[in-house]
Structure 1
Amino acid sequence: MRPVGSKYLLEEPLGRGATGTVWRARQRETAGAEAAVAGQPGETVAIKVLKEELANDADIVMRFLRERSVLLRLTHPNIVRTRDLVVEGDLLALVMDLIDGPDLHRYLRENGPLTPVAASLLTAQIADALAASHADGVVHRDLKPANVLLDERNGEMHPMLTDFGIARLADSPGLTRTHEFVGTPAYVAPESAEGRPQTSAVDIYGAGILLYELVTGRPPFAGGTALEVLHRHLSEEPGRPSNVPEPLWTVIERCLRKDPDQRPSAVNLARALRTVGSGIGVHANSEQIAAAEGVGALLAPDPAPAAPRPQQVTHGRGAPLTPGDPPRRGGIGAWARRL
């Protein structure tokens, strides 16, 4: 066992990703007042230990401390709760509730695609989580099946969105210098690929990709090199798969609009998906069917999409940039160097 601060002990790794390793851990004493959840000795938790190069980056450490209050207050039934943050020497770690179920990527790999009804209702819950985070000014920026954990309760699987704030914390010059990138090309919004500002609309695009994958087993822009995938996000329109009902395709297509201003808000997306889920099932009545067929009217864009709070960042050599400045090393060229 390995200690994390004075309050936690790492027991076994649960998974590794681009930004760090998630461990099953045990609390050995009650957390202090700075934690969102004090916990009890012997309680089992999950701890994400960020990679050493992140912990050694002074900019990331400062962001980590600055984001503490945001991450600790972000609570929702479909969001994995962050209980505590640990900063100690060269170690940065997030202490979270432990979800014993698989992530959605693994579940799809082992069980195959979902039915359109199940995919609609599951994604509606994810949209609920996004709506809550966007209302608090938090953009996830890395929505994909691997960041959705499935919690089994009363015989049902509840999606739990995790890794909030990781992309934001790790999007720094230090990470660029290590030639890493936080994000997966198959799930990246066009504006992200071009280095344009990333509002909450990037999460809606990610939800559209995820929804497509839930019913087909693969994301719409997959295959080839990372650079080729990014070009497809920018220039291709996905075709409607034969097994996707028209109302559900209307939702997917609207989420995947290249123009972020044309994508629905998370609140409207959740409402639309529940309408579709009710109207495409075998037991749907005429009123539910009609509502699903008219789902496009529910998919209004967000008039004021959430955006990351202003903060000074630098891109390579040269003067600092602030949000709104044209990217100096952005776009696909920068992606190609990072991937």
Structure 2
Amino acid sequence: MHCVVRWSLQMKKVLNERYQLKHVVGEGGMAVTYAALDQLLERDVAVKVMRKQFWADEEFIHRFRREAQAAAKLSHPNICGVFDICQDEDALYIVMELVDGPNLKQVIRQEGPLDEARAAGIGKQVAHALVKAHENRIIHRDIKPHNILIADGGIAKVTDFGIARAVESDSLTKTHAIVGTVQYISPEQARGEPAVYASDLYSLGVVLYEMVTGELPFSGENPVSVALKHAEEEPPAPSERRAGVSRAMEYVIYKALQKSARKRYSSALDMAQDLERIEKGKEVDEDADRTVVLSRPLATGGKKVGAESLDRTMIRPPSVQDVRYDERERTPPRPIERPGSAAMGWVLGILLALVAAGVGLMVAQKAQPELVLVPNLVGRPLSEAEQELSALNLRWSTQGEYHETVPLDHIISQMPRPGEQIEESAVISLTRSLGPQVDLTQVPDVTNMAVAAAKRTLMNQGLLLGGTTKEFNTTVAKGNVIRQSPSAGHMIEKNMPVDLSISKGEKPPPPPPPPPASQDVEGAIEYTIPDSGPDEMTFRVVTVDQDGNEKTVYDRAHAPGESVSVKVRGKGKTTVRWYLQDNLVGEKELVPE
């Protein structure tokens, strides 16, 4: 079936009379991606065409459009931009930014385990992309190296936002199939439960694991066995797979790979901040507003961390939760039991208890944290609000909503409310404006319609008749539409114009060519006046052109014996006659060469 799809598209070459397909750049279970040329805007793009088995599912098409439209509104340096959502006859496809570079899976296969700072930098960029998506209430659901493109300069771009969500239509999952790539799937997805924001962080944890070790945490004979391991088993320590994985990186991976979504990072931003520290060669900030006590021992350089490393662990009191995620349990990740580790587990448990008791005593003896008065941020630009919160030592999370009156990227509402007192480093939840909601409509097909009928059809769809041009056409009747821009199937804003090209009918035959221009001819008449005769005799030269027009070109008196030379010019075939005393004495023709 996949070969049929690919063959038909390659034969067609151009989709919607706009996107010229060049060659395949990637294939997956859901789609085939082509490099293409947008002929309207004259730019290179990527066209992701959904597999044929999805085309007949109306629910999928509806959800595909909705999710792709939401993804198209994500603008971020680490997100592959979505330009268009189209249908061409039966083909359903997305037009996206074309990234000149390999995907992360190809990089790992070619280079093996990546340098830890580089892996942290790529992971940080992916986490920032997830921050943007989660702020807009979009869960990716299929984070994996194949969906992370590495552009020039090492810039990571996440692609395929919304596609996995679209595939979760009832008609496609009534067999309880798992949506997502099983090697990177979260435990809750493996159990058939709905994906949550933290599901993306689990998948990113698997990607980090693979980047620093060159291996996946779980493998099996079939996808089901791998999914079960994600749901039930703990992964081997990264440092056991590859010596030299730092304690900080191992912590981030463990934190992301917790079986319970509530025990993972409270937000993608928290994870990005830890990865940025690792990228810069710094320790993970264990003073951050989260629990970092791990009952499972971490490793440094492939060795277990002893008691001397545990005195750096700190327990914090609960704080305001990140509103983008469900309430997090502040409990440590589960330990992994291994043969011979029971005794060490008891020792570490006792040490952890002692450390916790000591730290708890110190916390109890510390002064109460300072309180901060919450400022009024409603109506202010987001950048200005962030500056003020940063100056007050407060953290914030944002989510977007459409609003008819509040300008783009201005604050609509906040929690806690202005005037309340909260602890330093607490989280303020901000709702920013996405501007007025864009009302999209599908461009109808008005080709072969008369202009009046096309205008009515466009108006019924909430669109305007744009500019019109006229051209000759042998197949479309005079006065009917030859083509339109944008073409049928595109999703555009209502009240936008659609330009039309109108047929002028068959081109009339060309007029007969003008007669060829006559070529110039020239010659010379040489004549000697006779010695006998009057003292003066009149010598005259006459030309006759090809139309019979006569012209005297020479007429003078000469003495007997005098030689006469006359140059003659004409257009086309010319007859030359010369006379002495009005008597014809010679004649010749000048003919073009």
Q: Same fold (TM over 0.5)?
A: yes
Deviation string 1:86-131 (CA, Å, 9 cap, x unpaired) is: 0233111000010110000011101111111211111001100000
Retained in 2: the 8 A contact 1:78–1:158? yes
Give distance in 1, aligned partners of 2:178 and 2:50.
Answer: 14
Q: Which runs of 5+ in 2 are unaligned?
A: 1-11, 293-318, 327-593
Once the 2 structures are TM-superposed, how far is the Cα of residue 296 of structure 1 from its aligned partner?
8.6
Say if 1:174 and 1:9 are closer, same or farther in 2 by CA, change over 3 A: farther
Q: 1:195 aligns with which of 183, 192, 195?
A: 192
**CA shift in 2, pair 1:178/1:240, >3 Å:** closer
Work out whether 1:20 is the aligned partner of 2:31. Answer: yes
For the residue of structure 2 that corresponds to 1:13, the secondary structure is strand
CA distance in 1, matches of 2:237, 2:290: 20
Q: Which moved more, 1:78-87 or 1:177-186?
A: 177-186
Determine if contact 2:21/2:35 at 8 Å carries over to the other structure.
yes
Give the aligned CA root-mean-square deviation in angstroms. Answer: 2.2
Give 1:268 shift. Answer: 0.5
User: Structure 1 pair 119/55, CA: closer, same or farther in 2 (3 Å)?
Assistant: same
Deviation at 1:55, TM superposition (A): 1.6
What residue in structure 1 maps to residue 205 of structure 2? Answer: 208
Higher relative contact order (CA 8 A, sep 6+): 1
Letter in 2 for 1:140: H
- Report the 3-state secondary structure (helix = DSSP H, G, I; strand = E; otherwise coil) of the residue aligned with 2:155: strand
Residue matched to 2:221: 224
Q: Which runs of 5+ in 1 are unaligned?
A: 30-39, 280-287, 307-339
The equivalent residue for 2:280 is: 278
Report deviation, 1:271. Answer: 0.5
Counterparts in 2 of 1:21 and 1:203: CA distance versus 1, 3 Å: same
SS of the residue corresponding to residue 84 of structure 2 reads strand
Query: Is residue 245 of structure 1 aligned with residue 246 of structure 2?
Result: yes
The size of the alignment, in residue pairs, is 283
Question: What is the distance in 1 between the residues matched to 2:130 and 2:81?
Answer: 14
Cα pair distance change 1:113/1:146, threshold 3 Å: same
Structure 1: how far apart are the matches of 2:123 and 2:291? 16
1:170-189 alignment, distance < 5 Å: 170-176=167-173, 182-189=179-186
Q: Is the 8 A contact 2:59 2:169 kept in 1?
A: yes
Aligned AA for 1:189?
Answer: S
Within 2, Cα distance between the matches of 1:28 and 1:89? 19
1:62 matched to 2:59: no
Asked if structure 2 preserves the Cα contact closer than 8 Å seen for 1:276 and 1:292, the reply is no
- Is 1:304 aligned to residue 324 of structure 2? yes
Kindly state the Cα deviation for residue 82 of structure 1 after the two structures are TM-superposed: 0.3
What letter is aligned with 1:273?
A: L
TM-score with structure 2 setting the length: 0.45
* 1:120-171 deviation digits (Å, cap 9, x = unpaired): 111001100000000001100000000000101xxx2111100111101112
In 2: Cα distance, 1:132 partner to 1:15 partner: 25
Indicate the structure with greater helix content.
1
Partner of 1:169: 166
**2: distance between equivalents of 1:8 and 1:196?**
38
Amino acid at match of 1:200: Y
Q: 1:293 to 1:130 in 2, by over 3 A?
A: same
Q: Are the equivalent residues in 2 in contact too, given 1:54–1:174 (CA < 8 A)?
A: no
Contact 1:247/1:293 (CA < 8 Å) preserved in 2?
Answer: no
Q: Is the 8 A contact 2:176 2:192 kept in 1?
A: no
Paired residues for 1:43-122 under 5 Å: 43-122=43-122
The structure that has the greater radius of gyration is 2
1:185-220, Cα deviation, whole Å (9 max, x unpaired):
110101001111211111000010000000001110
Aligned to 1:313: none
The answer (yes or no) to whether the contact 1:151–1:160 under 8 Å persists in 2 is yes
Residue 256 (str. 1) matches residue 253 (str. 2): no
Deviations 1:211-247 (A, max 9, x none): 0000001110123221111111111112323231111
Say which SS state the counterpart of residue 261 (structure 1) adopts: helix
Task: Give, in whole Å, the separation in 2 of the partners of 1:51 and 1:108.
Answer: 27
How far did residue 253 of structure 1 move? 0.4
The SS at the match of 2:134 is helix
- Alpha-carbon spacing, 1:112–1:13, altered in 2? closer, same or farther (3 Å): same
* Contact 2:67 2:163 (8 Å CA) reproduced: no
Deviations 1:267-300 (A, max 9, x none): 1100111112223xxxxxxxx44x5566794889
Which one has a larger percent strand, Structure 1 or Structure 2? Answer: 2
Percent identical pairs in the alignment equals 35
